[in-house]
Chains A and B, each alone.
Chain A
Amino acid sequence: MRIRILVDGKSFGVKQGDNLLHACLSNGLDLPYFCWHPLLGSVGSCRQCAVKSYDSEDDQEGRMVMACMESATQGCRISIDDPEAVRFRAQVIEWLMVNHPHDCAVCDEGGECHLQDMTVMTGHDHRRYRFTKSTHRNQDLGPFINHEMNRCITCYRCVRFYRDYAGGEDLNAFGAHDRMYFGRQSDGTLESPFSGNLVEVCPTGVFTDKTFKAHYTRKWDLQTSPSVCVHCSLGCNTLLGERYGEVRRVLNRYNADVNGYLLCDRGRFGYDFVNSEQRIREPHGRQAGAAAGEDLDQEAVLERCASLLKTDNSLVGIGSPRASLEANFALRELVGADHFYSGISAQEYELEGAVLKALREGPVRTPSLREVESADAVLLLGEDPTDSAPMLALALRQSVRQQPLREAMKAGIPQWHDSAVRGMIQDRKGPLFVATPVATALDDIATEALRAAPDDVARLGLAVAHVIDPQAPAVGGLAAAAQALAKRIAAALLSAERPLVVSGTACGSTVVIQAAAAVATALSVARAQTEVDPPLLFLTLSECNSLGLALLNPKPLAQLLKSGGKGVGGTAVVLENDLFRRAPAEQVDALLEGRSLVVLDHVPHATTERAHLVLPAATFAESSGTLVNNEGRAQQFHAALAPAAAIRPSWSWLRGAHAAARPLEAPPVSLEDLRNACAAATPELAEVWTPAATAEQTQTLRYAEEKVPRASFRASGRTAMHAHLNVHEPSPPADADSALAFTMEGFSSPDGQLIPSYWAPGWNSVQALNKFQSEIGGEQRGGDPGVRLIEPRAAGPSCYPDAAPAAYAARDGEWLVLALPRIFGGEELSNGSPALQERTPEARLVLHAEDGRALGLEDGDEVEVSAPGCSLRLPVTLLDDAVPGVAMLPLGIPGKGYLALPLRASIRRAPA
């Protein structure tokens, strides 16, 4: 309910029950703060948001209160400008500055420091403390985070985020009084996969981005652009910062529905592949049969394209789940829909098919991450999102607080009153039920965690569905314990207000995905006649544009490979893809045999090595495009830098080649034209780019009649950048693909998806975000970016499989080898980032401890894994919390090539 409060005599509309700091900030008022954070709530420790509160109109005296610790009530009166409050806030800053270094001018946080902003805001500018400052020893916290404890102002946000919000355990508050210390018990890598958020959560420079420090530049000298993370299927929104042709860092870009204020460490630190020395920077041609090739200039390359593509009326194109919708569509246009193939493995295609069926035909809605956070009972089947879709795991860590939170609210404790809420609900969590083949990082918050092979996970899921809706297939021969567990899960889901079922392709099993959909369907049937909210079904996919590619209806790659490419033309065009990661080498070899191969990509791999023509493609950081996340949300990313001379976005190469080969069929077009064509050709994508720009407009894309500058108006080094070469400043690169410009000039405060950075007068840190939200923690002014493409059918056909799979039976001497996703080392692009490489653990086969003992193995011993078409040697990790007869193999081991997981294999101790 909206109410009105009086701040310094002026009336403001606020949400009843919000704390006063939240209410003031939502109304655009400037009130300094440190310990409060919209995600973390209030604890009242820093005392920075002090205001005067008055009991009534007659109260002239007032009393000092902390705005963050008081609820807004109808007609309440406060003053920010009261001289006593103003003086006290300046005094608080003076206390905080007692031990803080006075080195803003040379500090690497300077210019983007909340402490600096708040110090200026309170007017504290004269130092009266004349004694020694205390100093601390810094810790080595690993490759992501730099530690500089002397800057600490003891706001406690770091530990509250790291421990209370993200479930981390290895960062803590130590010491007491004015000798507080925030760090690890001893030096060492921060273990939480969300540690990078400390960079933004810390209001000053205690925790900073070590990868950024490695190629540091003043933050106001960065060119920044709104982007979308390419390192998993969730589509978190990011801000890329660039200087001198190099991506320097990734920051969170707020999207209330998706990632909110946070990113995972893969998303934040995986960017460095863009700067790789391995990058393909020149077009490269190789005549058929020749061992070596040559770099080509633009003219020669298009000629070569034309000759390769013109001569062949039935080209074959292989798309990519990590390339944009536009690039995939341009390829489909070039080769024709009949010859457009999905660049994913046979297994992946099947798994995706199961997900798509549930999304497109099922009656249950796929929630946003924000909705996941507010789910109050969760069933997680098959995978550990901490590794496959990390921000989902973080969202689930919030959902387990929902039911206990209700108790606190019933006791009259406002939700923002964080310490009181936590004091009351203590460690109560859930319900969250986890059923996976191996221990997960979410087990610590799980109500119950079951270890089972995928078929048994599916059987449990179907048993739950059957308990909820008897129309769902019955599961025969289920053990009594599993049946009882299914009943407990069903009861928890049925009694919840917002039940959620989670699974995804990382579980490697279509029957598990079907079972997850069945549980959600059963819930939706059971709840159909009631007033309660419908259930939710969240399914992860593998890559950043898996769903976007699928929506273009490509044919399965396996079909093409099985036929050995019979019936398709003599030239294959491969878009941003290494086929040797997608299929067995002999199948790929058979396809490539005797064919001309054109490959577009940004780093070399086995497929580019085989190509007759390699076209240097822009990464996401150098191009604009659209990705569709697992939720079916289409989101646009924008280039942070113009690509180097010979590099072009894939869609542009493809369109250029198309025009060169068949000029009548495909005149040169802009990105917007291509989008219009894509929307026209694909009904499901019709809404993605609305309102689409017309052909004339595309040449002069504008926001509010002006371009939006990527550089901040404080960018100080622009004219100096090339001065050692030429004192004439070169004109900035043009950007016809977006309304953004590579300059300092233009309209600098756009809304929505074009916001290139957060800045407002007096707010230089990331917390300037406050000024871009319609209300704190709510949606952005101008709406959050992204368009949802898939909504559930009102009363779709049943999503139940015909029958439950048979129970998993371990076979003597044979193991079921499953794919094990890994947050670091498990994703192709981020694997090229040095910081992530440092965090990538040795690839090990995970075996149940009993199996290991039976083989005479100890942890770390080497084993041989043998199956038809597969022979591997690697060390083992023995776990009690796994399934006997099931082995887990890390996904994406460099140099190990393609493995058709799951597979049956024999395992034995490797000979010395």
Chain B
Amino acid sequence: MERPLTQNIDRGREPLGLKAYEAAGGYQAVRKVLTEMTPEQVTKAVKDSGLRGRGGAGFPTGLKWSFVPMGDDAPHPKYLVCNADEMEPGTFKDRVLLEGDPHLMVESMIVAGYAMGADVGYIFLRWAYRLADRRLRAAIAEATAAGYLGDNILGSGYSLTLHVHVSAGRYICGEETALLNSLEGRRATPRAKPPFPQVSGLWGKPTIVQNVETLCNVPHVINRGADWFRGLSRTEEGGTKLYGVSGRVKNPGCWELPMGTPIREIVEEHAGGMQDGLKLRGLLPGGASTDFLVEEHFDTPMDYTSIQAAGSRMGTGTMILLDDGNCPVGMALNMQNFFARESCGWCTPCRDGLPWIEKLLQAIENGDGHADDLDLLDAHARDLGPGNTFCALAPGAMEPLHSGLKFFRQDFERHIAGKGCPWS
């Protein structure tokens, strides 16, 4: 089985330096696009590969790039921003790449930057990823010294300056437009779309914001082609995917597997199954802001289309498991506590709705729940839906709540009727 994203990663040693990375075939994609391809051809290659955004929304990457104004009239500077603000609860896949193969990240930025004509690149890094910060800066320094970054890269006429920006640490900064505001030094509140960042992004200029894992696929697509990329997958959607599992399994972790590997296979074979005596009740397939899936869905292939058909979202592809020894109300409370705290305070439903939900769940958990509290929670799960709020934070927060209320309703009712948590 090919694992292009993690092929250079060995957690037992330091990541590959420039020379070793080049020896392993690194920077070939940069040379190829700069010498053999036009930016449009690069974008087309990515489009043909069917690569979809790995940050959670699954938007077709090549299509996103095609919205960037190109040619002599295009506004400059243009910006490429790598969203490495990996703050989704339960998600740690980008960290694997950033720490494990920083030169892949740098190479990806150059190739993608060339495709969109970016002048400046930023890697917007989660505050806690100190090791990744060090390793990225070292890789950028090496790449700059070797002429892969800076003015007139490898004599091609293309120039790119690359910066690492360490976030101050807010979940909302992972929302691409809030990220841009944050990068500009403003309050990290999302922007309305349209205009999309491709038209008016960082400092009002054309900008692409792309997740780490997505970008890291690009050099491989360039080197090996769209057909090869599609062939990596077990389903219609091309490529491999970094899948992760957290919860009470025997071997929690993160693995690069063919796109479409079924949930049960990931949990049983790679995560080693549930710890002894515990039974899997449900899981959030792609981080905290995706809907619960339960027993009937466990054979679903993990790809965007299949997970959506099952009633959830692939999200980041890193799942959080709920076992039968844990309280679903407590889990819901834990998540809503996070979302309420991380609301940026911009729009009313999110700012004032989430803390109310949190307080209701806390009351239920404490044994102070009222009979009609579930109606209120249902109403919030509906009213904080897409379109009603300014960005996707609150609708994301409602996905586990809404599905949790559906699949584990008897647990909520038991808390209210029994005036307390049966697990505590």
A interface secondary structure, majority: loop
Cα A426 to Cα B75 in complex, Å, equals: 14
User: Is B322 part of the binding interface, using a Cβ–Cβ cutoff of 8 Å?
Assistant: no
Docked Cα-Cα span, A48 to B194, in Å, equals 20
Q: Are A177 and B355 in contact (CB under 8 A)?
A: yes
Contact in complex: A424, B192 (CB < 8 Å): no
Which residues in A have their C-beta under 8 angstroms from that of B165? none
What sequence of 0s and 1s flags, for each residue 117-137 of chain A, a beta carbon within 8 Å of any chain B beta carbon? Answer: 000000000001111000000
- B170, A426: Cβ atoms under 8 Å? no
Contact residues in B for A420 (Cβ distance below 8 Å): 191-192, 194-195, 200
Interface residues of B (CB under 8 A from A): 170, 187, 191-192, 194-195, 199-200, 203-204, 340-349, 351-356, 359, 363, 370, 376, 379, 383, 387-390
> In whole angstroms, what is the CA distance A131 to B355 when docked?
10
Indicate which residue in B349, B356, B390 contacts A129 across the interface (CB closer than 8 Å): B356
Complex Cα spacing A423 to B206, Å: 12
| A44 contacts B388, C-beta separation under 8 Å | no
Q: Assess the B204–A425 pair: CB atoms within 8 A.
A: yes
* Cβ contacts A to B, 23 pairs, < 8 Å: A47-B348, A47-B388, A47-B389, A50-B388, A88-B388, A95-B348, A96-B352, A98-B352, A129-B356, A130-B370, A131-B359, A154-B345, A176-B170, A176-B343, A177-B342, A178-B343, A412-B199, A419-B192, A420-B192, A420-B200, A423-B191, A423-B195, A423-B200
- A63 located at the interface, meaning its Cβ lies under 8 Å from any Cβ of chain B in the complex: yes
CA A44 to CA B347, docked complex, whole Å? 8
B204 neighbours in A (Cβ, 8 Å): 423-426
The CA of A347 and the CA of B164, in the complex, are separated in Å by: 62
Most B C-beta atoms less than 10 A away, residue of A45, A420, A423: A423
Known: A65-B387, A88-B383. A178 touches B351 (CB 8 A): yes
* A99 to B388 CA separation, bound complex (whole angstroms): 20
- Which residue of A has the minimal Cβ distance to B375? A128
Closest chain A CB from B375 CB (angstroms): 10
Q: Does A691 contact B (CB under 8 A)?
A: no
Known: A47-B388, A420-B200. A178 touches B352 (CB 8 A): yes
Contact A175 B199, CB 8 Å, known A50-B388, A129-B356, A417-B192? no
CB distance from B384 to the nearest CB of A (A): 10
Question: Which of B187, B348, B349 touches A173 (beta carbons < 8 Å)?
Answer: B187
CB within 8 A of A69: which of B192, B341, B343?
Answer: B192
* Contact indicator B388/A175 (Cβ below 8 Å): no
**Chain A hits for B376, CB < 8 A:** 128
Q: Which residues of B contact A423 (CB under 8 A)?
A: 191, 195, 200, 204
Complex Cα distance, B349 from A419, in Å, reads 19
Q: Is the CB of B390 within 8 A of A44?
A: yes
Known: A47-B390, A91-B383, A423-B191. A413 touches B200 (CB 8 A): yes
Rounded to whole angstroms, the CA-CA distance of A180 and B355 in the bound complex is 13
A306 located at the interface, meaning its Cβ lies under 8 Å from any Cβ of chain B in the complex: no
A480 in the interface (beta carbon within 8 A):
no
| Interfacial residues of chain A within 71-121, with CB under 8 A of chain B in the complex | 88, 91-92, 95-96, 98-99
Contacts of B343 on A, CB cut-off 8 Å?
A: 176-178
Compute the total of residue contacts between A and B using a CB distance below 8 Å.
106
Q: Is the CB of A99 within 8 A of B352?
A: yes
Does A532 lie at the interface of the complex (its beta carbon under 8 Å from any beta carbon of B)? no
The answer to the question of A1 belonging to the interface, with a C-beta cut-off of 8 Å to chain B, is no
From A153, A411, A412, A417, name the one whose CB has the most chain B CB atoms within 10 angstroms. Answer: A411
A510 → B minimal CB distance (Å): 44
The CA of A411 and the CA of B206, in the complex, are separated in Å by 11
Using Cβ atoms and an 8 Å threshold, which residues of chain A touch B192? Answer: 43-44, 69, 417, 419-420
* Contact residues in A for B191 (Cβ distance below 8 Å): 419-420, 423
Alpha-carbon distance A128/B380, docked complex (angstroms): 13
CA distance A419 to B184 in the complex (A): 14
Report chain A residues within 8 Å CB of B346.
Answer: 45, 156
Q: Is A666 an interface position by the 8 A CB rule? A: no
Does A95 lie within 8 Å of B387, measured CB to CB?
A: no
| A156 to B390 Cα, complex, angstroms | 14
Question: Closest chain A residue to B192 by CB distance?
Answer: A44
Which chain B residue shows the least CB distance to A426? B204
Taking CB atoms, residues of chain B closer than 8 Å to A424 are: 195, 200, 204
Give the top 10 A-B pairs by smallest Cβ distance, nearest first: A95-B352, A424-B204, A424-B200, A177-B343, A180-B345, A131-B359, A178-B355, A176-B345, A426-B204, A64-B387
Instruction: Give A72 Cβ to nearest chain B Cβ, in Å.
Output: 16
Whether A411 contacts B200 in the complex (CB less than 8 A), given A50-B388, A98-B352, A178-B340, comes out as: yes
* Docked pose: A69 CA to B391 CA in angstroms: 13
Beyond A50-B388, A154-B345, A413-B195, 6 additional contacts (C-beta under 8 Å) are A44-B192, A176-B170, A177-B341, A178-B343, A411-B200, A423-B200
Is A715 at the interface (CB under 8 A from chain B)?
A: no
Q: Which B residue's beta carbon lies closest to that of A173? A: B187
Pick from B379, B387, B390: contact of A63, CB under 8 Å? B387
Find out whether the CB atom of A45 lies under 8 angstroms from the CB atom of B379.
no
Residues from chain B with a CB closer than 8 A to the CB of A92 are 348-349
Q: How far is the CB of B330 from chain A (nearest CB, A)?
A: 19
Determine if B349 and A95 form an interchain contact, defined as CB atoms under 8 angstroms apart. Answer: yes
Give chain A nearest CB distance to B107 CB in angstroms.
31
Please give, as numbers and ranges, the residues of chain B lying within 8 Å of A173 by CB-CB distance: 187
The verdict on A46 contacting chain B, using a C-beta distance below 8 Å, is yes
Which residues of the partner chain B approach A426 to less than 8 Å between Cβ atoms?
203-204
B200 touches A154 (CB 8 A): no
- Distance of A308 Cα from B6 Cα, bound (Å): 106
Q: A96-B352, A424-B200, A425-B204 are in contact. Are A175 and B195 (CB under 8 A)?
A: no
Distance to closest chain A CB from B258 (angstroms): 37
Given contacts A129-B356, A412-B195, A417-B192, contact A96 B348 (CB under 8 A): yes
B349/A177 in contact, CB under 8 A: no
Closest chain A residue to B189 by CB distance?
Answer: A45
Interchain CA distance A425-B200 in the complex, whole Å = 9
Give the complex CA separation of A154 and B342 in angstroms.
16
Chain A 150-167 near chain B by CB (<8 Å), digits 1 or 0: 000110100000000000
A388-421 interface mask toward B, CB cutoff 8 Å, 1 = contact, 0 = none?
0000000000000000000010011100010110
Q: Which of A154, A179, A408, A413 contacts B348 (CB under 8 A)?
A: A154
Q: Which of A416-444 contact B (CB under 8 A)?
A: 417, 419-420, 423-426
Given A131-B359, A154-B345, A423-B200, does the pair A180, B351 have CB atoms closer than 8 Å? Answer: yes
Is the CB–CB distance between A175 and B345 below 8 Å?
yes
Q: How far is the CA of A123 from the CA of B391 in the complex (A)?
A: 27
C-alpha spacing A50/B170, complex, angstroms: 28
* CB-nearest residue of chain B to A131: B359
Closest to A181 in B: B345
Q: How far is the CA of A46 from the CA of B356 in the complex (A)?
A: 17
Contact pick for A177, options B194, B340, B359, B383, CB 8 Å: B340
Residues of chain A with a CB closer than 8 A to B383's CB = 88, 91
Contacts of A50 in B (CB 8 A): 388
Return A718 CB to nearest CB of chain B, in Å. Answer: 40
Q: How far is the CB of B373 from chain A (nearest CB, A)?
A: 9
Shortest beta-carbon distance from B11 to chain A in Å: 35
A770 to B72 CA separation, bound complex (whole angstroms): 46
Asked if A177 and B344 make an inter-chain contact with CB atoms under 8 angstroms apart, the answer reads yes
CA distance A425 to B204 in the complex (A): 6
**Bound state CA distance, A49 and B346, in angstroms?**
15
Residues of A within 8 A of B353 (CB): 95
Tell me the complex Cα distance, A154–B349, Å: 12
A417 partner residues in chain B, CB cutoff 8 A: 192
- Most-contacted residue by chain B among A130, A177, A178, A425 (CB, 10 A): A177
Q: Which residues of B contact A129 (CB under 8 A)?
A: 356
B199 touches A411 (CB 8 A): yes
- A307 to B204: give the CA distance in the assembly, Å: 76
Is A95's CB under 8 angstroms from B356's CB? yes
